[in-house]
Structure 1
Amino acid sequence: MRVEVMVPREATDLSRGAEPMTGDRPGVIAFLNDEASETAVRNGLAERTAGLLLRRGGIRAAIKALEREPTPRVLLVDVSGVPDVVAALEQLAAVCTPDVQVLAVGETADIGFYRQLTRELGIAEYLYKPLTRDSVARIFGPYLARQAAGGAEVSNRSGRVVAVYGARGGCGATTIAVNLALQLAEVSHGHVALLDLHLRGGTTGMMLGVRPGAGLRVALEEPDRVDALFLDRACIPVGGRLRLLAAEEPLESLPRPTEEGMKRVLALLCQRFNHVVVDLPMPPGPAERALLAAARQRIVVLGPDVASIRDTIAARKFAAIGAAPSIITVLNRAGAPGTLKTKLIEEGLGEAPDVIIPDLPKELPRAANLGRAALHESAALRRALAPLTQEVSAVRAQPGGRASLLARLLGRGGAA
C-alpha cells in the first residue's frame, strides 16, 4: 500500500498567479469611455502623478479587469451610459479591496445623484461631463496628491468579519472555516482573509498545504509593533484572492493576545479584505471576545451528537449577548454512522439547522492529509457549502464555480 505524506511548504500550486499585497499595487487607474475624457484626465492629472494608467471602457470594464488584477489605491471609473449605477458600483465593490479610493465621472448633473454617490455609497468624489483639464485638476487632483504623499484618506468601507467556531471540539469548525473562505474568494472574486486564532495546534495551514509565517502572535501581544507592512510579512497567499494569517506556536508557549492587539489586527485586515473569516477557538478569552463583538455573522458548527446539541444551545446564547448579529447554525457530518438522525437534532435544538453538511468520510480526511483544498476534491462539499456562502456574502454559489456578482458591499459602516 502506498502512503502519501503531505509536506508543508511555503506556497502551493494554489498560489500561482497570486496578487501582490501592496508592493506592486497600482497607484491610479482610470477607466473612461471616450477620448475627450481621457484627454482631460491625462492633462489635468499629469502633474499630480507619474503612475496614472488610462484604460478605455467604463465601470463594466473595470469590474471585469479587477476580478483578476490587484486593486489600485485610487480608481477612477466612468459610469455614463449605465442604467443602474448603484448596482454597478455594488458589483465593483465586490471585487475591490475596501481601502480603495473611488472617483467617478458620468453624465448626470443632479445634486441628489451626487449626494447619493458621495454620502450613501462612499464614493470619494464625482464629476459630471464634459470634463475639462481645470475641473479634473481641481476636483480629483487633491486625492492623487494625498495618495502620492502616502497620506490617502481612509476609506469609509470596511471588510465584514465572519466568526466560525465549534460548539465543542471535534465538530469540524476549522474545515468549515477553511472551505468557506475558499468558496467566498472563488465565487465572489472578492478579497478574503482567513484568520486562524488557534495559535497553538491550528490546522488551517496544514489543510491548505502551506506553512504559517511568523508575526501573528507578536501582533496580538504587542500591537505597537504592527506597521503598515504587517500584511505583507504575515499573510500567506492561497490562490489569487485568499490570504491566510495563522501561527504555529510551540505547545509549551503561553501566547497572551490582548484586546488592543486583536482590534489592531482586525482593523488592518478589514482595510484590505472584503471578508475576514475567523477560525475562532472556544471558549473565547477577552481578546477573542473583542473579535466576536466585531463579527457581522457568527457561525456555530455542531456535530450529530447529544453533547453538541447541548453546547450549541449554550454557544448561541453566549454569541447573542451584547449584540444582534446573524447567528448561523451548521450541522456537520450529518448521517455519520452511529450518530443522531437529523430529525432528533432538530427536536433538540428546537429548530432546524440553517446549513447541513453531510458526512464525507473519504474526501475530507484525504484532502486534509494531502494538504489540498477539500472544496476542490469533493463536489458534495461544494454543493452543501453553497447555501452558507450565499448567506454570508449575498452571492449565489454554483456547483461549477460560477456566480452572480456580490451585492451590498459598497456602503458605510464597519465590520460589525
Structure 2
Amino acid sequence: MKEQSAIAESDAAQIAPLPRISVQAFCETPEAVAVMNSAALDRRMDKAHVKVHMGGVVAAIEAFRSAPTPNLIVLEAVGERHALISQLETLAESCDSGTKVVVLGHVNDISLYRALIARGVSDYIVAPIDVLGFISRISDLYNNSAEALGRIVAIAGAKGGVGASCIAHNLAWSIARALQMQTVVADLDLPFGTAGLDFNQDPPQGVAEAVFAPDRVDANLIDRLLSKCSDQLSLLAAPATVDRLYDLPETAFDAIIDTLRATAPCTVLDVPHQWSSWTKRVLIGADEVAIVAAPDLANLRNAKTLIDQLRAARQNDAPPKLVLNFVGVPKRPEIAVADFAKAIEMEPSAIIPFDPKLFGAASNNGQMIAEVEPSSKLIEQFDALGRELTGRAVSRKSKSGLLAPLLDRLSRKLAG
C-alpha cells in the first residue's frame, strides 16, 4: 500500500487542473459518492463547480428533462447493459451541445465500452477508482495530455528571516544546472522581494505587470517579462517598491501560475512569509511545497501549524517538505534536528548549516552558492532537494540495495 501511495503522489503532479466547468455526478453507490465528494475538494478541481446526486442514469434523465445540462455529466451505472444503452439514448435527447458524458461502470467489458463510445460517451471508467485516478481521467478530457505539464514548486518560510528566499533561489539554480531543466524562479514578494538582488538583475518589468493585468496574461506576455539568469534559468522579478499598496485578491496569481505551468518545465515560487487568501491559495495549489524553518521554538510552532494545515488541504498530494536552515549557529541554543523532526512528525529533506561567510559573499555579490564556492558540500544538498521536489530523486535501493553489490562484482570482473 505504501508503494502504491508513493506512485500516486508522484503521478499527482502530472495531472493538469481542470478549467472552469460545471460537473454533475449521478451515483448509485456510497463508494462513488465518496470519490466524487473527495474529488470536488481536491486542488486540481478548484475551478470546477461540482454537484453530486444519487439515483444514477434514471435521476439524470429526470433532472435534465427541463433543465440545461452542465459541461460534464458523470453517471454511475450498475444495471444491465441493454438497459444502460437505452437510458443513455434517452438522456442524449436532453443533452446540450458540448456536454460531455462519462460513465462509471462495474463491468470490464470492451464491447460495452465500444458501444458507449459509439453513442457519444466521452469515457467509460471501470469501478472501483480512487480520487486521483478519477481526476486524471476527467482532466484528460479537458487538457491536451500530449503537452508536457510543468511542475510548480512553492517555497515559504515558517517565520520571517529564516532564509526561505535564499533557499528558493539556490534551489532554482540547482534544478536548472544539475537537472538541465528550463526553470523559472518567480518572486511573489512584490514590495520586498530579493530575487533581483540575488541574481544581480534589474529588469524594467516583472511579475507586477502580470498581476495587475490578469486579462492580458498569456505565454507571450510572461516571456516578455522574464529576464535571463542563465541558459536554463529565467527570473520573474518583483518590483520591490512600496510606492503602491499590494492588497491582492485571492486569485491574483492564478493566471500567471497557469501560464507558467503550461510553458515552463519547472517553476519555483518564492512565497513571502505572510498568511493571506492568496498565499494560502498558492501554497495549496502548488505541486510541491517546502517549508523553511530555523531550529528554534517559534519556527517549530509555525512550521507544524503550516504543515498540518497544508496536509489537511492537500490530502491527495505528497506532504510538504521540511528544510532546516541556520543549523549550528555558535553560542545559540537550538532544538536538535532529531527533536525538531519528531515534533513535526517529518524528517527534514535538507539541513543547511550556518555559514555566514559563504552566504554573505553570495548575497553581496549577487551570486548563487554554486558560483561562489563550486566545491561546497551545500551544493549536494540543493541538488538532492531539487531532485526530490521535481520527482527525480535517486532511488536509494540502487545505491545500497542488492543492485550495488551486483554492479560491483560485474565491474571487477570486467576490469580483470
TM-score (norm 2): 0.55
Asked if the contact 1:171–1:332 (Cα under 8 Å) also holds between the matched residues in 2, the reply is yes
Aligned to 1:297: 288
Task: Select which of 233, 241, 246 maps to 1:250.
Answer: 241
| CA gap 1:260/1:307 in 2 versus in 1, 3 angstroms | closer
Aligned to 2:213: 222
Aligned to 1:319: 310
Aligned to 1:335: 328
SS at match of 1:281: coil
Q: CA–CA distance in 2 between the matches of 1:330 and 1:260?
A: 27
Aligned to 1:393: 390
SS at match of 1:229: helix
Task: Select which of 233, 241, 259 maps to 2:232.
Answer: 241
Q: Which runs of 5+ in 1 are unaligned?
A: 1-152, 398-416
Q: CA–CA distance in 2 between the matches of 1:221 and 1:256?
A: 11
| CA gap 1:286/1:358 in 2 versus in 1, 3 angstroms | same
Q: CA–CA distance in 1 between the matches of 2:213 and 2:145?
A: 23
Task: Select which of 373, 378, 381 maps to 1:381.
Answer: 378
Aligned to 2:193: 202
| CA gap 1:157/1:201 in 2 versus in 1, 3 angstroms | same
Aligned to 1:86: none
Please give the residue correspondences for 1:16-415 in structure 2 after superposition, counting only pairs within 5 Å.
156-324=147-315, 325-326=317-318, 327-337=320-330, 338-340=332-334, 341-378=336-373, 379-395=376-392
Q: Which runs of 5+ in 2 are unaligned?
A: 1-143, 395-416
Q: CA–CA distance in 1 between the matches of 2:283 and 2:341?
A: 26
* Distance apart, 1:221 and its partner CA: 2.7
Asked if the contact 1:194–1:243 (Cα under 8 Å) also holds between the matched residues in 2, the reply is yes
Deviates more, 1:256-265 or 1:276-285: 256-265
* Distance apart, 1:228 and its partner CA: 4.0
| CA gap 1:206/1:296 in 2 versus in 1, 3 angstroms | same
Question: RCO (CA 8 Å, sep 6+): is it higher in 1 or 2?
Answer: 1
RMSD: 2.1
Q: CA–CA distance in 1 between the matches of 2:206 and 2:328?
A: 40
Q: CA–CA distance in 1 between the matches of 2:341 and 2:313?
A: 26
Deviation readout 1:82-130 (Å, 9 max, x if unpaired) = xxxxxxxxxxxxxxxxxxxxxxxxxxxxxxxxxxxxxxxxxxxxxxxxx
* Distance apart, 1:347 and its partner CA: 4.3
* Distance apart, 1:320 and its partner CA: 1.9
Asked if the contact 2:253–2:282 (Cα under 8 Å) also holds between the matched residues in 1, the reply is yes
Q: Which has more radius of gyration?
A: 2
Asked if the contact 2:249–2:277 (Cα under 8 Å) also holds between the matched residues in 1, the reply is yes
Aligned to 2:33: none
Instruction: Give, as a single letter, the amino acid of the residue that structure 2 aligns with 1:172.
Output: G
Instruction: Give, as a single letter, the amino acid of the residue that structure 1 aligns with 2:161.
Output: G
Deviation readout 1:124-144 (Å, 9 max, x if unpaired) = xxxxxxxxxxxxxxxxxxxxx
| CA gap 1:323/1:344 in 2 versus in 1, 3 angstroms | closer
